[in-house]
Each structure stands twice: as C-alpha cells, then as structure tokens.
Amino acid sequence: MPHSAIIRGHTRNARTRPIPLTACPLARYRTGLFEKAGETVAEMVLDRLRELQEADLELRGLQHKKASHDRAAKVQVAQIAKHQEQIEDLRGERLTARVATNEKELNVKQKRADIERLRAQQMQIKDNRQFQALQNEIKFAELAISKIEDDILSDLGDLEAVDTQIAEAEAALAREQQGLEDLKKQIEARKSDVDAEIEARRRRRQEIASALPGKVVDQFTRIADRLDGEALAPVIRQEDGGSFICGGCHMGLTQNTYVILAGHSDNLVACPNCTRILYLPGTGAARLRMDPYGEDA
Ligand SMILES: [Zn+2]
C-alpha cells in the first residue's frame, strides 16, 4: 500500500491506516523541550521531515552537479567521435578521387603511347589516304588527351579542396580533444570535493532519517524521487481566507485537511492530488523560532 503511513487529505474515512506516530522515536521528545512549546508529535515529525527535505534537496543538487559534469564530458566525447568520423569520410572521399585521377593519368599515358605507335606506322605508309586516316586517329587521341588533362586539372583542384576540409576537421578535432582533456582535469580536480560533499550530505540525511519512523521515510523518499526532491508542500490559505490550496501542485484542499493539520492530531496528511506531505507554514520549528530566546528573535 503506497500511502499507508499518511492520511490522504481528501477523505474523512481514509481507507489507509495512519501510522501511530506516538510509537515513533520522536515520541521521546514529548516530555522534553518540544512539549513545553506545545508542539504535537505530527509537528515534530514534520519539522524533521522539513530538515530531511532540505538535506535531500542539497544531496540531489550535488548529485545533479556531478552528473552534469559527466554529461558534459560525454557530449565532448560524442563531438570528438563525430569529427573523427567526418575525417574518415573525407579521407575515403579523397582516396576514391585520387584513384580516379590516377586512372585518368594512366589513360593519358596509354593514349600517348598509342600516338607514338600511330606515328611510327605513318612513317612506313606510302598511301596518302591511309596516312590521312592515321593522322585523324592521332588527332582524335590528342583531343581525348586534352580533354582528360582538363579533367585531371579539375580533379586536382577538388583534391586540394578536400585536403583543406581534412585539415580543418583535424584542427577542430584537436581543439575538441584539448577541450576534453581540460574538462577531464577539471572534473578530476573537483571530483574528490564533490564526492566528499555528497558523502557528508548523505550522512546528514541518514542522521535525520534515522530519527523518523521508517514508513514515513520510505513514503517521503518515494514522493521525493518522483517529484525531484519536493516531498513536502505547505498548505496555503487563499486570499479569500476561507479556502486552501496545496503549495506543491496548487490544487484546492478541503477545510478538513486544514482542521486535521491545525488540530493536535498525531497524523500526517498528504495532498490527494500530488501526494506531497502537507504542513502548515509557521508551525512547529518555525513557531519555536519565534521564541524570544531563539536565534531568529
Ligand atoms: Zn498537491
């Protein structure tokens, strides 16, 4: 049962059974300082939960920071892979173009050899028409050579352009690699600090949680995981003075919700819409801090 520890604010006869908070470790404060200030057990638990939420949010913030460093490094690695792939493609393109140009150069060589052979044949021929026929063949081969040579020149221009592209991509790759190195150094330098901070917050959170009933902490953690650490919400009195809304999801709450929270009930109340655990602002520790001897006086 997901909300067994907490009364749902929208129903008077909640099917779920509230946890008896008087049996929780906080009950020992009943005869201590808190009782003098008139705080109920539910208020004590809510105070602890507010501390828990604060520690939890700090912990989540740090974990998020750490994860964002790792994400930045991953983005950089992906960028490097993209440049490497681009360079591979360009080199492949260049190789194909070079092979085609080589073939054309070979073709020119063969045609020149053909022309040599045709000229040799011409020297042996006495017949004028045959001589002219060979002459035409030579002309035809020379024309073909001239056309292929134009092609080769254009190819060489293209190759040069690809070389420029490769050089640019290589420079970009070098920059990305340098960037990644710098980022890694930065992450490494900060890593132990962040890890130590995370560990300290984890211990703090554990310390607070250990003073609360396990079921309440489980419930808190489930809501916090779902709502990015915001497991508690204040009950806000609307300007008309008579109606209330949840400070988390801004949905309306029944008068009964307020009555349970304001009365000396030993039950926690959850928002029926977003399931956040509700508290009344200005109660519990907030009220204690109004003590003239308190630090906020
Ligand atoms: Zn809500």
With a CB cutoff of 8 Å and minimum separation 6, the contacts of 240 are none
Question: Any idea what the Cα angle at residue 251 is, between residues 245 and 257, rounded to 5°?
Answer: 50
CA of 276 to the centre of ligand 1 (A): 6
Are 155 and 242 contained in the same domain?
Answer: no
| CATH code of the domain covering residue 130 | 1.10.287
Are 92 and 41 contained in the same domain?
Answer: no
- Domain enclosing residue 129, as ranges: 66-202
Least confidently predicted of 62-71, 116-125, 250-259, 275-284? 275-284
Number of domains in the chain: 2
CA of 6 to the centre of ligand 1 (A): 14
CA of 5 to the centre of ligand 1 (A): 17
Of 187, 202, 217, which residue is a domain's last? Answer: 202
Are 121 and 192 contained in the same domain?
Answer: yes
Are 55 and 77 contained in the same domain?
Answer: no
Q: How confident is the model at residue 7 (pLDDT cuts 50, 70, 90)?
A: low
Looking at residue 13, its pLDDT comes to 40
CA of 117 to the centre of ligand 1 (A): 96
Distance CA 276, CA 13 (A): 19
Of 202, 233, 249, which residue is a domain's last? Answer: 202
CA of 162 to the centre of ligand 1 (A): 61
Please determine, for residue 74, whether its predicted confidence score (pLDDT) is greater than 50.
yes
pLDDT in tens, 78-135: 989 999 999 999 999 999 999 999 999 999 999 999 999 999 999 998 899 999 999 9
CA of 259 to the centre of ligand 1 (A): 17
Are 48 and 106 contained in the same domain?
Answer: no
CA of 55 to the centre of ligand 1 (A): 21
Are 219 and 189 contained in the same domain?
Answer: no
CA of 277 to the centre of ligand 1 (A): 8
The most confident of 44-48, 103-107, 225-229, by mean pLDDT? 103-107
CA of 273 to the centre of ligand 1 (A): 5
CA of 219 to the centre of ligand 1 (A): 15
Q: How confident is the model at residue 173 (pLDDT cuts 50, 70, 90)?
A: very high
Looking at residue 2, its pLDDT comes to 44
Residue 214 within a domain: yes
pTM value is: 0.59
Number of residues in the chain: 297
CA of 256 to the centre of ligand 1 (A): 15
Are 262 and 247 contained in the same domain?
Answer: yes
Residue 1 within a domain: no
Residue 85 within a domain: yes
CA of 208 to the centre of ligand 1 (A): 24
Residue 296 within a domain: no
CA of 242 to the centre of ligand 1 (A): 18
CA of 170 to the centre of ligand 1 (A): 54
Residue 297 within a domain: no
CA of 9 to the centre of ligand 1 (A): 10
Residue 294 within a domain: no
As a whole number, the mean pLDDT across the chain is 82
Of 202, 236, 255, which residue is a domain's last? Answer: 202
Least confidently predicted of 7-21, 43-57, 140-154, 187-201? 7-21
Q: Is the dihedral of CA 264, 268, 269, 271 positive or negative?
A: positive
CA of 274 to the centre of ligand 1 (A): 4
Are 232 and 280 contained in the same domain?
Answer: yes
pLDDT in tens, 139-152: 999 999 999 999 99
Are 138 and 165 contained in the same domain?
Answer: yes
Are 52 and 112 contained in the same domain?
Answer: no
Residue 41 within a domain: yes
Residue 2 within a domain: no
CA of 247 to the centre of ligand 1 (A): 7
